Chain A
């Protein structure tokens, strides 16, 4: 038996890999190689990348198709920051043709990275302090007139704001203080902290849980919110329970446009044109709670015209978010630990 050819260790005998293994590898290799091709219906569809708060109705998509013959696909990619980052990371082969929702705090990052071809303002919202008028009447305290008042002793433990690390509303207010106060913005925040300001992770927690003027019936009568918020707190007497401090607010402007390297840039422009047209603009206020850029002061609900107008004055348009955001956040974090 020893030395018999057939009993050599298996490893040294001639053999071939079962054919199916070649077939399997070939199939997978072919599939892998074909990854770069195939977009179905070239020229008939267009994709838009948006943040999670974007709203478009089936009727509007159908209207767009009727007007242009194009099928619109929406890709939601997180909040404005995540959307921008994903677009930056995929700029060679973008995930869409057009975009909606990069706002003025992230646009500098997008343009610095060569992500966008065009940008047009499509809507805006004003971040302002709101306060509960009922609370101030009952407690016989004079309501604040400006956010700079909030460090005064009579407003101790009354304010709730959002964390600028996790909330765009919070970041907007941080930027406001930078724009208005310059180098001494850190002192303002230290004073705020000493005056008992509460910081929540997001706007929902602040407004719907901690704020006394809304459904949460919390214990804080001053909240960082939007100039439109009072229009949603109208009580039985037809007047809102809350009011907005409309001086020196921060205007968040959202942009839409065509992405660089888009597969269908012409179609992308058609989408942007639709978003700037009357039909879509007149739905923006009710579905996304922001002011339509092209129609304002028209195109908003009646309650807004009375109680939720845009701010009287805004600050912060000239700030460079891309360059300085980290610095401001570091300052905030060093104060609030």
Chain B
């Protein structure tokens, strides 16, 4: 390989190797060898840890599986109603179900924790809705519904009507048509979104931490507990290894099936608003009375959906059992007894700054690496680079945060002490996803286009800026969206690395929420309410803007 190419590859590999793999190796090295480890004890495994590990692993897997199944079952009728039928308010509903996907996960966890205070008076119902496992799985469904609905819905929208009509001509009812005809066509997108949901829920941290109440542990929360509460890095390392294997498996599954998944936040790609005028009518028919079961189901889901959000708003506007704006006034101060080290404004500023840096950095690096991967021969170096940047796709935030805490605390690489470490970790968390998406997009560009341009004398810079980049712009926008979501909502890594005046919004929210005191709780609710409103309005604005630009 030429020297310049070798240099490029080396730079990319050193970057990821130092900033990503080194901390990971650091945890394991530290954990398996350090004085903070009980691994040396002869009864490390027999003292209950083996069974605890097994039960934690089991819980992590089955709650992820259950959440995935539930969200798929729930998502199908909703996708049908929102993408195959037409009725007033569809856009608003689509925005509403996407809001939880974009919000910092901690806000969702806080919203669901309000169920613990609910008192229906019926013992059986109360027992269920205050059960931590029920809350955790419900929260997972709540967050990931949009993923399934939008993925399946986009595909469904594009399915030809003719097959359905042919089946109807043969006498098939709606359900029969769905079962025999539509489902087979939807399977790839269902599987793609389901594997992604499984991957996310198996790595769930904030939800289990807040809603589990210490009684229920997933692998992620166990790592957190072992490291920060018991300072047993040996246990943390073993748990981390299991975590790594599980989420790597989950994400590789998602990656294998996920190439067809196109998540569309702005309704721009799915052609939702560009109706087919070929036959003089739109392909989306209005709802009719045969859709009643779907509508009924949809209403139940809508109720379940609105309830946590309603609770948050209700608690936000309540102080001392009466309606009041006190919580919002308190937001401007520093919490009761100066509980917070920084003002909420500063925390928001930190979060926004980190998000912008992480998004921009992961895009720049991700595009560069994807470009390098696409435009070089698929040889050994190419494969190494590919693996190096994609393997971390499932690594948990807790793991990386702990790795940085442990590995980069000593001179000369005292990265941990700088404010930059949190956006850096967030960049690394988003990078594999960005690389994967941009790589697929770049690889999908037809060679003919590029060859024709070369014939006309374009060099690779021109090729990139004038042909490839414009073609992959939609993908870059979606990738940017994902990177921003990951960075803004990050809780696991910040919990280990963001101290004092570098605290981010989710951390401050968590502190307010978990410290006893009516005013702290109220402030957490008020902040959550504000975030929900801002997110919903932003989504709506983006959705409207893209429609207008399409119509122009």
Contacts and interface: CB of A to CB of B under 8 A. Distances in A.
A305 interface: no
Interface string B168-206: 000000000000000000000000000000000000000
Given A57-B338, A76-B341, A89-B406, A17 B415 contact: no
B288 interface: no
A136 to B, nearest CB: 28
A11 B376 contact: yes
A19 B409 contact: no
A12 B454 CA distance: 13
B11 interface: yes
Contact of B414 (A7, A81, A93): A93
A184 B341 CA distance: 45
B491 to A, nearest CB: 14
A28 B357 CA distance: 10
B393 to A, nearest CB: 20
B464 A18 contact: yes
B551 interface: no
Nearest to B35: A113
Interface string B325-353: 00000000000011101000000000000
A24 B228 contact: no
A74 B412 CA distance: 26
A73 interface: yes
Contacts of A81: 229
Interface string A285-309: 0010000000000000000000000
Interface stretch (B101-109, B118-126, B316-324, B365-373): B365-373
Interface stretch (B72-80, B290-298, B416-424, B480-488): B416-424
B411 A36 contact: yes
B549 interface: no
B275 interface: no
A58 interface: yes
Given A82-B229, A91-B409, A35 B15 contact: no
Nearest to B410: A92
Interface in B12-26: 12, 15, 19
Interface residues of B, number: 62
A96 B12 CA distance: 34
A85 B228 contact: yes
Contacts of B415: 32, 35-36
A94 B410 CA distance: 10
Interface stretch (B142-150, B265-273, B455-463): B455-463
B54 to A, nearest CB: 18
Lowest 3 CB-CB distances: which A-B pairs, in order? A75-B500, A21-B368, A24-B364
28 contacts: A6-B454, A10-B450, A11-B376, A12-B377, A16-B460, A16-B461, A17-B368, A21-B367, A24-B364, A25-B11, A25-B365, A28-B15, A28-B364, A29-B15, A36-B411, A36-B412, A56-B338, A58-B338, A74-B500, A75-B341, A76-B500, A77-B499, A85-B231, A88-B36, A89-B405, A92-B409, A93-B411, A95-B499
